[in-house]
Amino acid sequence: MDFAFLTDSTFRLVAMGSALIGAVGGVVGTFALIRRQSLLGDAMSHAALPGIVLVFLLTGSRDLPLLLAGASFSAWLGALVVVLILHRSRIRSDAALGLVLSTFFGFGIVLLTVAQRRPTAAQAGLERFLFGQAAMMLQRDVEGIALAAALILFLILLLWKEFKVLAFDPTFAAAIGLPVMILDVLLTTLIVLAIALGLQAVGVVLMSAVLVAPAAAARQWTHRLERMVILAGGFGALSGVLGTLLSSWIGRLPTGPMIALCASGIALFSLGFAPQRGLVWAWKPLRRIRKTSSES
């Protein structure tokens, strides 16, 4: 087995960037999971596509920070549309999320088709934002990801008590005088930023897996939010490193989908084998009861 790629600077750079993306995705995804808004992350990640393409069409720029700024605005707009639909109509949350997801993503695909007809579209590489292209990461990209990740984690740590109350009981949070609307907008913005960070590596289609899977895995191992956030961040980072490792080792496999598969694999393992809550632990007492019933 040839593991010479482990010493390659590009591999280490991509692994570091993917680990940061996975860690931040796991942390913010925990709050989305607790608040039963996992599908909101999926809708926002798909809603980011038209923002990326519109920025390119309007400016002709291929500058990554500018494209991700457009993605962030578009994703945040998608979240705002979901909130407006829920508050101004009788449409249920799952229908509103599906409506926004399909509309924004469909609009993004149409814009992408228009953009690809431009002579400069091939150089722009807009299609990489669909499923990600982690190998395109540069050192300045990883440095930007690290800076944004530090900001997101700092804000979560700074407002930990407020976010914790908001996640579990927003009614109580309002009753004790917390600015629920501001906190809600800020937490949604942090999720949008986490999504924007992962678009280059994982893409709009699979980014929701980086948000949901590590958090779902962590939920099986603990009942405490503090431990859940730490575990989700660790599982997300592990998924990023494993996905990069497997795609480099096997060769010619896209890194983004491998990261999503690793995150899903960790979640499935946790659902099956996590102590007390895993399916295997639940199956043993049931088997014992059936055995006792048959003997009697």
User: 125 lies in which domain range?
Assistant: 4-295
Give every CB contact of residue 37 below 8 A, 6+ residues apart in sequence.
none
Q: Which pLDDT tens digit goes with each residue over 254-286?
A: 888 899 999 999 999 999 888 877 777 766 665
Separation between Cα atoms, residue 111 and residue 172, nearest integer Å: 43
Task: Write down the pLDDT at residue 94.
Answer: 78
Two structure tokens written together for 2: 């040839």
Band (pLDDT 50/70/90 cuts) for residue 84 is confident
Q: At residue 58, what is the residue type?
A: L
Non-local (6+) Cβ contacts of 284 within 8 A are: none
pLDDT(1) > 60: no
Q: Does the pLDDT of residue 18 top 90, yes or no? A: yes
Spatial contact of 225 and 164, defined as CB atoms under 8 Å apart: yes
- How many whole angstroms from its chain centre is CA 265? 15
26 in Cβ contact with 219 (< 8 Å): no
Q: How far apart are CA 189 and CA 184, in angstroms?
A: 9
Measured CA to CA, the distance from residue 132 to residue 179 in angstroms comes to 36
pTM of the model: 0.86
Split into its structural domains, the chain has a count of 1
Helix axes 139-158, 160-168, angle to 10 degrees: 70
Interatomic CA distance for residues 141 and 201, integer angstroms: 11
CATH number of the domain encompassing residue 190: 1.10.3470.10
Question: CA 183 to CA 205: how far, in whole Å?
Answer: 27
pLDDT in tens, 239-259: 999 999 998 888 778 888 899
Residue 124 is which amino acid? Answer: A
Strand, coil or helix: 126: coil
- In angstroms, rounded to a whole number, what is the distance separating the alpha carbons of residues 253 and 247? 5
Average pLDDT over residues 56-82: 87
Share of the chain above pLDDT 70, in %: 90
Per-residue pLDDT at 211 exceeds 80: yes
pLDDT at 83: 81
- In this structure, what token pair is assigned to residue 72? 């962030």
